[in-house]
Amino acid sequence: AQSVTQLDSQVPVFEEAPVELRCNYSSSVSVYLFWYVQYPNQGLQLLLKYLSGSTLVKGINGFEAEFNKSQTSFHLRKPSVHISDTAEYFCAVSDQSEGSSGSARQLTFGSGTQLTVLP
């Protein structure tokens, strides 16, 4: 089983400032890692994912994240935020194996971080 911890429930930041949203995970097996963004009353949109290869992953809207296996972290960063980045951000993990029946493994989500960009 996996677990995901997002330590910061709310992160206020001024427009054009850099931001880091923290995510730590726990798992006994190798995992895939994801960051999703959710705007009010909408579903989740994938920002980026780490499957393998380079530990620095670039996503949409200028976001990037770095996978650190030794620290079991996958922090999300953006060098300069915009008002439109205000949203809820979720970190998620999935183990790398398929289910015994070939079905997909479920995603385990963190509790979310509300990013509020202030003018």
Partner 1 sequence: GAVVSQHPSRVICKSGTSVKIECRSLDFQATTMFWYRQFPKQSLMLMATSNEGSKATYEQGVEKDKFLINHASLTLSTLTVTSAHPEDSSFYICSARTRANYGYTFGSGTRLTVV
Binding to partner 1 by residue 30, rule CB under 8 A? Answer: no
* Of the candidate residues 41, 54, 97, 100, the single one contacting partner 1 (CB under 8 A): 41
Give the dihedral sign, CA 35/39/44/48: negative
Closest to 35 (Cα-Cα) out of 4, 70, 10, 8: 4
* Of the candidate residues 7, 17, 29, 46, the single one contacting partner 1 (CB under 8 A): 46
Binding to partner 1 by residue 59, rule CB under 8 A? Answer: no
Closest to 34 (Cα-Cα) out of 16, 11, 60: 60
Binding to partner 1 by residue 42, rule CB under 8 A? Answer: yes
* Of the candidate residues 90, 93, 115, 117, the single one contacting partner 1 (CB under 8 A): 90
Binding to partner 1 by residue 103, rule CB under 8 A? Answer: yes
Q: Is beta strand 73-78 parallel, antiparallel or unpaired with respect to 56-58?
A: unpaired
Contact 23, 6 (CB under 8 A): yes
Binding to partner 1 by residue 34, rule CB under 8 A? Answer: yes
Tell me how far apart the alpha carbons of residues 69 and 11 are, in angstroms, rounded to a whole number.
Answer: 24
Contact residues toward partner 1 (CB under 8 A) are: 32, 34, 36, 41-46, 49, 51, 90, 98, 101-104, 106-107, 109-112, 114
